[in-house]
Structure 1
C-alpha cells in the first residue's frame, strides 16, 4: 500500500483480508463510520502485532501525551504501536510535527491515527503516511457493499439475498457484517434469498446479534437488541441460558490456545458460534470481569425466579440491569481508551 492511498465506498471493508507489502510507520485512517474504521484498524494492528510490537492507546485530546508516546521507545524492546483515536480537529495544529515525525520515525515505533476526515491532515501527512479514507455506503448501495464484503472473504451472496438480509437486520454495517458472518458459518456455496429467509426471520439471528454486540461491550446496542428479543416473545430464562453458555465459552477460550472452534464447542456442549464469538471478542473481558459476569448472571437468575426474599421484579428490569452491568465499560475497555 503506497502513500496517500485513498479508499472509499463499498469496497473498503474487504481490505482486512489482504496482505500489506509495504506499511509506513504512520497510518491515517479517516472515516465517518466507526465500523469501517475498526476493520482497517484491525488490519493495521495485526501487521505490527505480527512484528512483536506492543499496543498503546492514546486519545487525540492528549496531544502532549501522543507526542511523548511517539518518541518513547518500548521499555523491553520489541517495538511499540501507538493507536490514536478521537477527533481530527485535535491534531490539526500538530500536523506539521506529526509529518516531521513520520518523515524520520524512531526505530521500533509506529502509529495509527483513527479520526474523522480532515483535509489538513490529509494534505500534510499524505506524502509521509499511509492515508486510508473510508465512506459508508449510501442506503441504496448497502446491498452492493455486502456482496463485495463477502466476496472479500471468499463467499458469494446474491444481490436479492443481500437485500433480504439488510431488510431483516437493518442498515447498521456492524449488524449486517455480524449477520453475514453467521451466514457464512451456517452455509456453504452461494448464499441465496431462501437461505437468508430461513436463518434470519426468527429468534436465532436476533439472539446471535445480541450476544455479539454484548461481547463488544456496546451497551446501547445490546440493550436495543435485548428489547427487541423480549418484545418478540423470547423468554428471559432462554436469554439467560444463552448468556451463560456464552460466558462459559469466553472463559474457556482464554486458555484454549489454538484449539479449533469446533473442537472447543464440542467439549463445552455449545454451538460453534459461541466459541467463534469468544475468540473474536473475548479479550474485551479480563479474568476478573468474567468472574463478575458469572456472579451477575447468578443474581439475575435468582431474581427472575423470585429472589431470596420473594421479590417480584419485572423480568424486563432484571434483564436490562444485567445487560447494562455486563456491557458497562470495565478495566479492559478503559485501558483501550487510554
Structure 2
C-alpha cells in the first residue's frame, strides 16, 4: 500500500497556451479560473508565479520575462487579458510564443472577438493554442441552456419550469444565475421544480431588487419594469426594492468619480464590492453623465419617501422612479 506521505501523482498538464475568445464576462472569467486551477493541479503545488496583465500594457520582450521560471524554481502562469488591444509587436510576441511555448509555463490569453485584433486569433489558432469560445448569450433559449448546464455541473436535476422560474427570479446576469443555481443545489433536496424556486426566492429582495436596479441603470426599461412587477407580485417589500435602486446608483456614482485609471481590486476594497461588480458598474456607466446620476438619486430619494407612506401607491412610486432613472441615463431632464 502506498505511503500516506507520498506526494499525489501529477495530473495531466493543461494546454501550454489557451485562447479564450468572447464577450461573455462570466464565462471568460470562469475559463481563466479553470485554466489556472488545472495548471496548479498538474504542477502538484501552487503552479509557480501568477501574472495577470493587460495586453495593452505589455512591452516588447516582457512576455519572455513573465513566462520564465522563478528564482525559487517552479513554472509560471501568465494571464494576458484583452488581446484585441495588443499592439503589433506584442501580438507578434504572443503568436511567436504560441508556436514554441517553453516547458513549465502556462499562458492564457483572452480576446473579446470581433474584427479588432482578429488576425491574432487566427495566428494563435494556427500555432496550436487551445481555444475556448465564450460568445455573448443574448437569446432567452441560450440563457435557459446555460441554467440547464449549471444544474448539470452541480449534479442536480431541474425541470423546465424551474429554469423559467429562476430566470424570472434572478434575471439575465450569468454570474447571478450561476450563484443562484449553486445556492439551490446546496440548500434544497430532490428534484428542483418551479415551486421549489418560488419558495426559495419568495422574500429574497436582494435577488430581485438588484436585478431591477441593474436593468434600470443600464437603460433597459422593459426588463426593469418586468422584474419590478414580478418582485412586487411575489411579495417583495417596496422599501427593499427602492433600497436596491439607491445602492445601485450610489455605486454608479462612486465608481464614476474614481475614474477609469483606478484598479478594480483597489476600488473594490474602497467601496466594499467585489472586483467583478466594479467591472460591471464601469460598463453600466456608459451613457451616463454625472448630472444624470445625481438626478436619478434624487428621484429614488423621492420614491423612498413615497413608499414609506407619502404616496397612495408604492407600486406606482417605484415604477415612476424606474422610468425616471432610465430617462436620466438617456439624457432627458438635464
The TM-score range, normalised by the shorter chain, is 0.5 to 0.7
Equivalent residue number for residue 77 of structure 1: 73
Q: Deviations over 1:232-286 (max 9, x none)?
A: 323999xxxxxxxxxxxxxxxxxxxxxxxxxxxxxxxxxxxxxxxxxxxxxx989
Q: Distance in 1 between matches of 2:85 and 2:191?
A: 44
Is 1:174 equivalent to 2:190 in the alignment? no
Is 1:39 equivalent to 2:27 in the alignment? no
The alpha carbon displacement at 1:37 in A equals: 0.5
CA contact (8 A) 1:166 1:176 kept: yes
Q: What pairs with 1:106-125 in structure 2 (closer than 5 Å)? A: 106-117=102-113, 119-125=118-124
Aligned residues: 222
| Farther-moved stretch of structure 1 (151-160 vs 95-104) | 95-104
Q: Deviations over 1:59-83 (max 9, x none)?
A: 1112316524445332322211011
Equivalent residue number for residue 39 of structure 2: 48
Q: Deviations over 1:160-214 (max 9, x none)?
A: 110111011111111111111111121122110000111123226539989xx9x
Q: TM-score, normalised by structure 2?
A: 0.55
CA contact (8 A) 1:73 1:80 kept: yes
Equivalent residue number for residue 333 of structure 1: none
* SS at structure 1 position matched to 2:79: strand
Change in 2 beyond 3 A, CA 1:97/1:164: same
Equivalent residue number for residue 145 of structure 1: 146
* SS at structure 2 position matched to 1:88: helix
Equivalent residue number for residue 194 of structure 2: 193
Change in 2 beyond 3 A, CA 1:113/1:131: same
Equivalent residue number for residue 86 of structure 1: 82
Q: What pairs with 1:95-110 in structure 2 (closer than 5 Å)? A: 95-110=91-106
Equivalent residue number for residue 56 of structure 2: 61
Task: Find runs of 4+ consecutive structure 1 residues off by over 4 angstroms.
Answer: 207-210, 228-231
The alpha carbon displacement at 1:111 in A equals: 1.2
Equivalent residue number for residue 320 of structure 2: none
The alpha carbon displacement at 1:105 in A equals: 2.2
Higher relative contact order (CA 8 A, sep 6+): 1
Change in 2 beyond 3 A, CA 1:111/1:98: same
Is 1:232 equivalent to 2:238 in the alignment? yes
Q: Distance in 1 between matches of 2:208 and 2:141?
A: 27
* SS at structure 2 position matched to 1:61: helix
Provide structure 1 residue ranges, at least 5 long, that are not aligned to the other structure: 1-19, 214-219, 238-283, 294-313, 318-338
Change in 2 beyond 3 A, CA 1:235/1:39: closer
The alpha carbon displacement at 1:88 in A equals: 1.5
Q: Deviations over 1:123-142 (max 9, x none)?
A: 21114211111223322331
Change in 2 beyond 3 A, CA 1:205/1:194: farther
CA contact (8 A) 2:205 2:237 kept: no
Equivalent residue number for residue 312 of structure 2: none
Change in 2 beyond 3 A, CA 1:191/1:132: same
The structure with the larger Rg is 2
Is 1:131 equivalent to 2:131 in the alignment? yes
* SS at structure 2 position matched to 1:64: coil
Q: Distance in 2 between matches of 1:170 and 1:85?
A: 27
Q: TM-score, normalised by structure 1?
A: 0.54
Q: Distance in 2 between matches of 1:191 and 1:49?
A: 34
Q: Distance in 2 between matches of 1:163 and 1:72?
A: 49
* SS at structure 1 position matched to 2:240: coil
